[in-house]
């Protein structure tokens, strides 16, 4: 478990630029991270510290479901230093984010990721809200959501994302 979870600050970014390639050596998430931080979209960005060092990070981006007034967020990316994985740091970051978002009346969280991992946090397959780009069949089980308040599961429509997330390659594997 981390000693401290706090909102990220600009001076954390150089550390995050080192963290993500270590946590995801086969996936370049830095362009997305840079675009998110450079944009004016509303983010909840949290870091975990252990022994005074940043060892984990998560971002939640505020999104909309077209045609509704539901407050929603998109989870990701989330990264933990390889030598600190499987110690509850990623879980602690995600759970803290859920609490802070619930306090802001966010009713639903979406994620495109490993069902075995995200299922532990109460995520279920999502079929009522569709992604900005059609997800290939082999990724469909990875499109998931979790409600934070009553009635939020009744929301349906198309997910409306800010510009950093409005890129086909984030939703569809390269050909």
CA–CA distance, 114 with 121 (Å, rounded to integer): 12
Q: Which of 18, 107, 121, 23 is nearest to 62 (CA)?
A: 107
Question: 148-163: per-residue pLDDT in tens?
Answer: 987 666 788 999 999 9
Distance (Å, whole) CA 29 – CA 170: 9
pLDDT in tens, 64-117: 999 888 899 999 999 999 999 999 999 999 999 999 999 999 999 999 999 999
Q: What is the DSSP string of 138-163?
A: GGGGGEEEEESSTTGGG--EEEE--G
**Rg from Cα positions in the chain:** 15
- Residue pLDDT, tens place only, 26-60: 999 999 999 999 999 999 999 999 999 999 999 99
pTM of the model: 0.94
- Helices and strands in the chain: count of H runs, count of E runs: 4, 9
């Amino acid at each position: 478990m981390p000693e401290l979870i706090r909102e990220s600050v600009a001076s954390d970014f150089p550390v995050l630029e080192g963290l993500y390639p270590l946590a995801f050596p086969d996936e370049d998430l830095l362009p997305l991270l840079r675009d998110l931080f450079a944009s004016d979209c509303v983010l909840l960005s949290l870091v975990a510290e252990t022994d005074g060092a940043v060892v984990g990070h998560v971002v939640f981006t505020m999104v909309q479901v077209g045609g509704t007034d539901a407050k929603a967020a998109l989870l990701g990316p989330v990264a933990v230093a390889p030598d600190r994985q499987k110690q509850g740091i990623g879980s602690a970051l995600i759970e803290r984010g859920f609490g802070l978002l619930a306090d802001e009346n966010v009713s639903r969280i979406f994620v495109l990721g490993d069902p075995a991992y995200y299922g532990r946090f109460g995520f279920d397959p999502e079929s009522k809200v569709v992604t900005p780009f059609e997800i290939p069949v082999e990724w469909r089980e990875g499109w998931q959501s979790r409600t934070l308040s009553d009635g939020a599961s009744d929301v349906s429509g198309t997910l409306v994302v800010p510009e950093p997330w409005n890129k086909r390659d984030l939703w569809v594997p390269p050909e």
